[in-house]
Structure 1
Amino acid sequence: MSRATDLNGAERWAAVDAYIEDHYTRSDAVAATVLENQRSAGLPDIAVSPAQGKLLSVLARACDARRVLEFGTLGGYSTLWFARAVGPEGAVVTFELEQHHADVAMASLTQAGVGERVEVRVGPAVDNLSTLEGDDPFDLVFIDADKPNNLAYYQAAMTRVHPGTVIIVDNVVRDGGLIDADSEDPRIKGSRAIVEFVGADVRVEASVVQTVGAKFYDGMVIATVL
């Protein structure tokens, strides 16, 4: 009997993620340090996984992103992947609620050599959406903040995009909770709102990708502006 058949679903997902990390991210000591700094500072362990971080980088490079908008900085782990992808002349604008999180993120990003590419805007993102009015269009938008406000973030971001902009909304499947129309969980309500809205939005071409791995069962909306 193979090792895979000895593992239950969640164990198998995590084992496959570990295998992927061995071949795609394990040698990345800089990224590992950013993640460890986040954990050492006591931040919630809710960053994207290393494999997901690498995916974000691939998507950013695939659309030749030079400007990225991120909702939810946390400790700067996903921000790092974007900052690397946009290159020395690129820029990442990222929203973070907590000043402590922002400080940890900027310290790590500066240590990683990409701090000058990142601007963290601190405070409730819904209050800071008006700051986007002065921004040039973004090539990629990553929404990974408080889920009840997913739709507000998407609608604000859509005022600063162009044809070809890629928009990613993370954590929308929520262990299958997405299909629970009667749920009172505001995170599931927020996920259903964004999935249904984007699915009907004629301005974009989109789908939802279900994911399994070290972060268990979830998924993300991936859209491109037409």
Structure 2
Amino acid sequence: MSDAHWTEVDQFIEAKLLGSDAVLMAALENNAANNLPPIDVSPALGKMLMLLAQMAGARHILEIGTLGGYSTIWLARALPPDGRLLTLEVDRKHARVATENLARAGLSDKVEIKVGPAKDSLAAIQPADPFDFVFIDADKQGSVDYVDEAIRLGRAGTTIIVDNVVRCGAIVDDANNDPRVAGTRRLYEHVARHPRLNATAMQMVGSKGWDGFLLAQVC
């Protein structure tokens, strides 16, 4: 099968199960108009994130890596009326665009964007309530640190999802020295031996190519 066929299947899924969404489409269009990289989650994965957060009964969500806020919108839609989402973004331009997209989506009152290096922002967080759901979609070199912070800031039962953990199969290529691949391998090793994590990972193909995500629960 070709990438074109994968994209066609994604489009079929979106047409049958997601339908059109003017708010989400406007967010992607605004991202493109501001020259943000087109690396948002796919619509199908975005809805999966929303459903998983709802299934987890999440009231307090943490996102590491905002970009233009496309995945943020999906996650924020999973929250109950009194729910809150904190999203961390290192790039001020990305955060500005995300702010516009969240305002258009009517979610500004549910979402706080914190700008700066994620490690610094995370170290400063002392939440009154633990996070119930954490989505990590940031620099892969920092994935181990981000997962450790998700555990610290979560509770027993917290769901953690890390995106882009297959990297077109590069994780099994020992000769690949890409820092993002090395960071992802370290993530697998760390999660596998962590006493407080129960995890799996899924590889996926689709409009975004060949990749996958890691799903873990804090014990």
**Contact kept in structure 1, 2:127 and 2:153, CA below 8 Å:** no
> Corresponding residue for 1:3?
none
2:109 pairs with 1:116: yes
Distance 2:135 2:79 in 1: 14
> Corresponding residue for 2:189?
196
**Contact kept in structure 2, 1:75 and 1:102, CA below 8 Å:** yes
Distance 1:118 1:104 in 2: 14
Residues 44-59 of structure 1: matches in 2 within 5 Å? Answer: 44-59=37-52
CA RMSD of the aligned region, Å?
A: 1.2
The AA in structure 1 aligned to 2:210 is Y
2:33 pairs with 1:20: no
Q: Any idea what SS the aligned residue of 1:138 has?
A: coil
Deviation per CA, 1:31-69, whole angstroms, max 9, x where unpaired? 111121111111110000111101100110110111110
Alignment counterpart, residue 180 of structure 1, candidates 144, 151, 173: 173
> Corresponding residue for 1:128?
121
Distance 1:211 1:202 in 2: 27
Distance 1:195 1:24 in 2: 32
> Corresponding residue for 1:100?
93
> Corresponding residue for 1:63?
56
> Corresponding residue for 1:162?
155
Distance 1:89 1:102 in 2: 23
Distance 2:209 2:55 in 1: 26
**Contact kept in structure 2, 1:135 and 1:160, CA below 8 Å:** no
Alignment counterpart, residue 141 of structure 1, candidates 129, 134, 140: 134
Shift, 1:129, TM fit: 1.9
Q: TM-score, normalised to structure 2's length?
A: 0.96
Distance 1:120 1:199 in 2: 31
2:204 pairs with 1:211: yes
The AA in structure 1 aligned to 2:51 is V
Comparing 53-62 with 198-207, which one deviates more in the overlay?
A: 198-207
The AA in structure 1 aligned to 2:92 is Q
> Corresponding residue for 2:75?
82
The count of residues paired between Structure 1 and Structure 2 equals: 219
Q: Where does the alignment leave 5 or more consecutive residues of structure 2 unmatched? A: none
Shift, 1:29, TM fit: 1.5
| Identity of matched residues, % | 46
Distance 2:69 2:200 in 1: 26
Q: TM-score, normalised to structure 1's length?
A: 0.93
Q: Where does the alignment leave 5 or more consecutive residues of structure 1 unmatched? A: 1-7
Residues 38-49 of structure 1: matches in 2 within 5 Å? Answer: 38-49=31-42
